[in-house]
A and B are shown apart, each in its own frame.
Chain A
Amino acid sequence: MQSPAAGASPSPAPGTAAFTFPREYYFPPFFTWQTNLTTHHAQLTKWAALVLAYCRHHRIFRLALSTGMSASAPMTAGGGGDSSHADGGGGAGELFHNRQIGRRIGLADAREVVDFLRKDGRAEYVGGAGDDGEGFGGGNSSGVGGGGDVAWIYWRTPEEWAALVEAWVDETGQKGSVLTLYELTEGDATRGTEFHGLDPELLQKALHVLVKRAKAQIFGHEDSQGVKFF
């Protein structure tokens, strides 16, 4: 609901093949939160890795936790994988709910995974924590507040995206030129790059990183923003 549909362009990412879940995904106890702290830590680590890998595979940038919880996820389970990130924030249905063995994890547990990722800087709640998301947003208030339900999953952090964009600008010799944000993500020129099809908000975040480093400048209005690289 948050982001407008970014068009159903087939993504060039290696998402054509079905995602292969790790072995633990078919292990029923994996879906029960462990009481043993050591085991629990290992479980969280594995879940975090799974979430990252899943999102990377399907190019999900923001993950809606609760939609995934409902039994009917809108996703066509991994068939082509092409339209996976189409409806705002990829559904986590398949991710958190293993239909094959009939096990799922609860919303609170999914949040814990996200919290765990946040500690590594690999996730952030959408809307909850402003632009930088680090400080006050905290893990505690992620519940009912602003964007407790949808989270950025940084399988690439904004910094990494920024580096990618910068490298592409360098490569293509476009320093000093002005590009619109739409051009960057959806334009023909960027077809084939990793950030093609990047979520606009995430792109903003990445570009802000560059702005801070004085490598770029953003101008323009809400809808038609442009960026100039230095």
Chain B
Amino acid sequence: MFLKQIDLTTALRPSYLPDEDLLFVQDNVGLYEGKYKLPNHQIGQVYLTSHRVCYVDKADPRKNSLAIDLKDVERYDYSAGFIKTSAKISLVPKATKRSSLQPWAPGLASNHSRSATSSPVQRTADGAHRSPPVNQPSAGTATWVCTICSFSNPVPSNFDPSTASAHTPLPPCLACGIKPTLTHVLKAAISNATSRSPGGPALLTPLPVRPRPVSGIAGQQQSHGPPTSPRTPDAPQQTPDPDASFQCPRCTFLNHPSLMSCEICGAPLISHDLPADLAHQPRSETESPGPFLQSSPSAVPQGLDNFETVKLSFRGGGDKIFYERLKRSMTQRKWLLQGAPPIPRSARPGDAASSGLGIVGGSGGDSSGGAASEQRVKIAGIAGLEHRGQAMRKNNELVIGSAFEDLEALMASAKQIVELAEKFARQVKSGGNGGEGVENALLLAESASQLGLITTKDIVGTSGSGGGDSLYLSELARNLAEFLTDDGRGVLRRAGGIMSLVDLWAVFNRARGGVELVSPADFEKAANLWEKLELPVRLRTFRSGVKVVQARDRTDDTTIRALLAWLRDLHEFPPDRHVPWDWRVFGRGVTARDAAERFGWSIGVAEEELEMAEDRGVLCREDGIEGLRFWENYIDTGEGKAWRDPAKEERDKIMRALKESGFL
């Protein structure tokens, strides 16, 4: 399945996988399948992450949101907009993901701009050794261990042991940058393949074929290479060889099945047996040119299996940046890192230091760390402990230093760095004193994982229609809503369900770890968007102008009920010290501080809430030497209800008079 349904967070953003990074967001994007518009997927936001392309529908996000795993994408193309046509980016799924029953549509091929500018790394790699990535599922999990630094590298997805030769380009070790020998990788791939059961479900999926009236091709395909998966003994038309190649009708070169024109002579490789119903579908017009794929809503999920090319139509611009970022993330292939084991390290600190050195001087081949470990002398007692600590610190320095030395190494040691950051945060925590310090430090520790998921101004695209900042703000609003409602973090819950905007701003910026801080103006604007975006939090302004954030389901009435219940409890429980009044009748006065403690609010919020309740006539105040206390309202026991503000009454009278005399 190429297009997948995705889970959304409470703020209607895609929920990210572990290690997934958000790279770009663009709104006003529509989806096409082939050259047809997908119904119900025409206006939405596209999130480009390091692992996926997610489409979140604007009208019905819960139902119509989809994602495409980048690992399933074989190729991607860019076609610029022209007059009424918006710029589009096509994502071509990998062969295994394509259904064998779906023929190539001629229009699809003609729609592809096969310009040289859009030939990505992926394609050149394919072209180099022409091996279809059929065994990708197994190869994707295979790893080879670098002989230099013993880092476990993934075997590249396009590496096919059956066709690999001395000329096959091999990626260098991700940690030290040294190229492995072919035999080394070959061994790893083969051992991985043999350790898997040959009848794995991934290999049994029907493999693609391009139905062709040309006969005899099947035989040639057989001879092309040894099959890596068992075949069902059916007609070759239906279940072809996994290495199915495609002979060029002009020069007889065996092309990769996913190519649409011959790699040697450039002749078009188009099927002729297009089913008639595809061509004669009734099409509906929408404001944007391009036909719709007609299907009933229920048919959409079924149809997902059969998608070939998915196009993203960028009606609001942002296509170029999206394309650049997509290119980058396709090159980085971060999804391969997901299963990679951490760098093996020895437990001894001296050796750890030397391995750190090894990473730094990786290009120099043999590490110079041997000398370092030899220099290590045994020191006992406090001096030893100090020495140990020093060595630790040195090691940490080295790791950090090496991680930032070059990007390659940073990627490889990302996990280590995050671990270090967390450890530092923990140290801050243990060093901190007082409850608040601990809590904040906890937030800091969590922030390390948060770093990748934040929305920054350069992640979002510029919206052509709605002004520059609107997309950024709405993303920020969603981001905030997620941050607030995230159960694991529980920012809002810990603050008693209500939090002043200023506090939130501080916590949020702190969670961002000091980078890409949000300006107060943007923050307020984003908070104002919550209502419009129908997010589960809302911004509330107290009478005094203090702005607070609270969950949508919390209203003044529930707050008042909670306050009253609490005050009634005070009738039951005797106060701590003797009070001169009858506490069984009146209970006890509470200060803002008491309320803050009771409900977990901040003092400012507690004051505001109490005053709100007073304003409603539920509480009354007592201004004594001990400060302002709030009591249940035993003063106004119904007498005040009939009374109205004389000024207001006067106003009403004037208004009435004006109305009657026809002035209004």
6 more A-B residue pairs beyond the given contacts A42-B636, A101-B580, with a C-beta to C-beta distance below 8 A: A29-B634, A29-B635, A32-B624, A36-B617, A36-B620, A45-B640
Query: Closest 9 A-B residue pairs measured CB to CB?
Result: A42-B640, A42-B636, A29-B622, A38-B640, A101-B580, A42-B639, A32-B623, A39-B636, A32-B622
Indicate whether B641 reaches chain A with its CB closer than 8 angstroms: yes
Q: How far is the CB of A190 from chain B (nearest CB, A)?
A: 37
Indicate whether A213 reaches chain B with its CB closer than 8 angstroms: no
Indicate whether A219 reaches chain B with its CB closer than 8 angstroms: no
As a 0/1 sequence over residues 25 to 36 of chain A, the CB contacts with chain B under 8 angstroms (1 = contact) are: 011111111111
> What's the A-B contact tally at a CB cutoff of 8 Å?
84
Q: Which of B608-630 contact A (CB under 8 A)?
A: 614-615, 617, 620-624, 629
**How far is B629's CA from A103's CA once the two chains are assembled, in angstroms?**
13
Indicate whether B599 reaches chain A with its CB closer than 8 angstroms: no
Indicate whether B331 reaches chain A with its CB closer than 8 angstroms: no
| Cβ contact within 8 Å between A29 and B640 | no
| Cβ contact within 8 Å between B614 and A35 | yes
- The residue that B640 contacts in the complex, of A23, A27, A39, A103, with Cβ under 8 A, is A39
| Cβ contact within 8 Å between A38 and B589 | no
| Cβ contact within 8 Å between B643 and A38 | yes
List residues of chain A with CB within 8 A of the CB of B636: 38-39, 41-43
**How far is B640's CA from A41's CA once the two chains are assembled, in angstroms?**
6
| Interface set of A (CB-CB < 8 Å, partner B) | 23-24, 26-39, 41-43, 45-46, 100-103
- How many interface residues does B have (CB within 8 Å)? 26
- The residue that B621 contacts in the complex, of A23, A35, A46, A101, with Cβ under 8 A, is A35
Known: A26-B586, A27-B631, A29-B589. A46 touches B639 (CB 8 A): yes
Indicate whether B108 reaches chain A with its CB closer than 8 angstroms: no
List residues of chain B with CB within 8 A of the CB of A102: 580
| Cβ contact within 8 Å between A42 and B614 | no
- The residue that A46 contacts in the complex, of B631, B635, B641, with Cβ under 8 A, is B635
Q: How far is the CB of A25 from chain B (nearest CB, A)?
A: 10
Indicate whether B436 reaches chain A with its CB closer than 8 angstroms: no
**How far is B581's CA from A89's CA once the two chains are assembled, in angstroms?**
29
**How far is B620's CA from A23's CA once the two chains are assembled, in angstroms?**
16
**How far is B622's CA from A30's CA once the two chains are assembled, in angstroms?**
8
Q: How far is the CB of A32 from chain B (nearest CB, A)?
A: 4
**How far is B636's CA from A42's CA once the two chains are assembled, in angstroms?**
5
| Cβ contact within 8 Å between A38 and B617 | yes
Q: Which single residue of chain A is at the shortest CB-CB distance from B633?
A: A39
17 pairs from A and B in contact (CB 8 Å cutoff) = A26-B581, A26-B582, A26-B585, A27-B634, A29-B631, A29-B635, A31-B622, A35-B621, A38-B641, A38-B643, A39-B614, A39-B636, A42-B636, A42-B637, A42-B643, A43-B635, A46-B639
List residues of chain A with CB within 8 A of the CB of B615: 36
Indicate whether B645 reaches chain A with its CB closer than 8 angstroms: yes
**How far is B578's CA from A100's CA once the two chains are assembled, in angstroms?**
12
**How far is B626's CA from A102's CA once the two chains are assembled, in angstroms?**
12
List residues of chain A with CB within 8 A of the CB of B622: 28-29, 31-32
Known: A26-B586, A100-B580, A101-B581. A34 touches B635 (CB 8 A): yes
Q: Which single residue of chain A is at the shortest CB-CB distance from B623?
A: A32
List residues of chain B with CB within 8 A of the CB of A45: 639-640
Q: Which single residue of chain B is at the shortest CB-CB distance from A43?
A: B635
| Cβ contact within 8 Å between B617 and A39 | yes
Task: Choose among B615, B620, B624, B641 the residue with the greatest number of A CB atoms under 10 Å from its CB.
Answer: B620
